Amino acid sequence: MVSVRYAPRDAPQIGKGRWTLPLSLLNNEKLLGKITERGIIFQAETTRDWLEQTDRQTANIQTHWEAYKNSIHKLAKEAAKECYHKITSHITVLEKDLRETNNKPDISTNKETQAHKAILSSQLKHLKKKDAKNRKDLMKAKLANYSEQLGGM
């Protein structure tokens, strides 16, 4: 069996050091709202410079674009850290609560305790799957990025 990876000669090469937005943040409405606000500001700055015919040495579209990219990059990194922290802290709280529930003496006889254990286990399983999916998506992005360089990672 032969496998081929098609790459046109004129395709851009992804260089070293590119940061990728975690795919889980694409559904983050708060982050998307902030990015939209920054985009409106960027558009207003470039339109103003074009209408006023500002000197390119002082302000041009490339400098505005760089500032926009840097600002959304910073926002996305902060949102990713916040999301990761929320998931990991919730996992640790659930694990602690599950340990306490398992150590109760009436676990084998009390139906409420057993139901509570089942709910905690289900929530913990869901969060661990979510965390694993985020890590898998990040690894896919890293592999796609670094596979274009000689020597791999």
Q: What is the pLDDT of residues 81-114, one digit of tens each?
A: 888 888 889 889 999 998 888 888 888 888 888 8
The predicted structure's pLDDT at residue 12? 65
One-letter-per-residue 3-state SS of 67-87: HHHHHHHHHHHHHHHHHHHHH
Q: What is the pLDDT of residues 1-36, one digit of tens each?
A: 787 777 777 766 655 556 677 777 888 899 999 999
- Predicted TM-score (pTM) of the model is 0.59
State how far the Cα of 46 lies from the Cα of 42, in Å rounded to an integer. 6
Question: Do the Cβ atoms of 144 and 23 come closer than 8 Å?
Answer: no
What are the φ/ψ torsions at residue 105 (nearest 5 degrees)? -70, -25
When pLDDT is averaged across residues 135-153 and rounded to a whole number, the result is: 67
State how far the Cα of 148 lies from the Cα of 14, in Å rounded to an integer. 7
The predicted structure's pLDDT at residue 86? 86
